[in-house]
Amino acid sequence: MQLYNKLSAKERETLIDEAGEDRLTLSFYAYAKIGNPHLFRNHLFIAWDNMDVLGRIYVAHEGINAQLSVPAKRFEEFKEFIDNIYFLEGVRLNIAIEHDAKAFLKLKVKVRKKIVADGLNDSTFDVTNKGVHVDALKFNELISDPNTVLVDMRNHYESEIGHFQGAITPDVDTFRDSLPIIEDDLKEYKEDKNLVMYCTGGIRCEKASAYYKHKGFKNVYQLEGGIIEYARQVEKQKLENKFIGKNFVFDHRRAEQISGEVIANCHQCGKACDTHVNCANEACHLLFIQCEECAKKMNNCCSTSCMEIAALPYEEQKALRKGKGNSNKIFKKGRSKVLKYKS
């Protein structure tokens, strides 16, 4: 019985090319009490591996967080499978606006302590006591209200390339960093202001809204389905689009275009640009914004030192990495002294 992925990314990419079939990129989450996450993890892997589903899935005692690539022809089979899991029946599936057959190249189902790392150790905190979910129409109404405070619950490198007009965009690296910062900054608004939050697909706001209610905020709202579902509803219902720029996504696409504006800049030359890349030096792998001209000039690297390493034969690069841990740059996305124009 196969319980783990055995193909390399390159081998999977070749199979996808040979199949030449459409795939759907989607995500979903659900908070639930899972007694045996490891058993549930194996159940998912066996079923989804047989359906040729790929993606990144986190399972914990508190629920599931999944980002997937599903063969279009097997979508109904996939949907029937999850509907037969009692706490996933009818779960919202956030279907991507732009699809890429190679959005994911492996099936990774991992058991984690939490499906969203929040750094919280409060036993009185009830994640199910969440804020009011609102659709795109109601969301637009709320954020037009001067009595509303709009907060982006994503990280700095996400909001840098796209966000809602007038939103507070905390300069944070992780979700866990944002919770206490936002609480402190907005504490004077607990009683009388509407606290409206959004994120990519809704999962971070689900936990954040419950957290802020726990902390005494009276009027807490969250965008149902996140930016992904908002963009879909805006297009379908012909609503005013209040999101500017791109929506950062956590797969090989890196972003979805929501509006035509480019609100970010190349981190190396300052030119208007909103394309995220990873440094070509695998020992660095820094996520940053790079325009086509700088990519050509810097050989897809973040610095001259990384250019020198990336130019070495692959075996020499491996030898240099041997015995060394991952560079901190991998985890400090978009944070480096070598990036002259990082705002």
Name the residues annotated as catalytic.
199
CA distances from 138 to 221, 330, 334 (A): 10, 38, 33
Per-position DSSP letters for 266-335, written without gaps between them: -TTT--B---EEE-SSTTT--EEE--HHHHHHTTT-SSHHHHHHHTS-HHHHHHHHTT-PPPGGGTSTT-
- Residue 318 token pair: 């491996």
Q: Is 130 helix (H, G, I), strand (E, B) or coil?
A: coil
Of 181, 190, 198, whose CA–CA distance to 219 is shortest? 190
Distance, CA of 101 to chain centre: 18
Q: Is 273 exposed, middle or buried (0-12, 13-18, 19+ CB in 10 A)?
A: buried
Helix (H), strand (E) at residue 121: none
Q: Are the CB atoms for 109 and 93 separated by under 8 Å?
A: no
DSSP letters, 202-270, are SHHHHHHHHHHHHTT-SEEEEETTHHHHHHHHHHHHT----EEEEEE-SSTT-EEE-SS----B-TTT-
Instruction: List, in order, residues 6 or more apart from 339 with CB less than 8 Å away.
Output: 267, 268, 288, 302
Residue 93: CB atoms within 10 A of its CB come to 19
- Taking alpha carbons only, the member of 222, 15, 192, 170 closest to residue 107 is 15
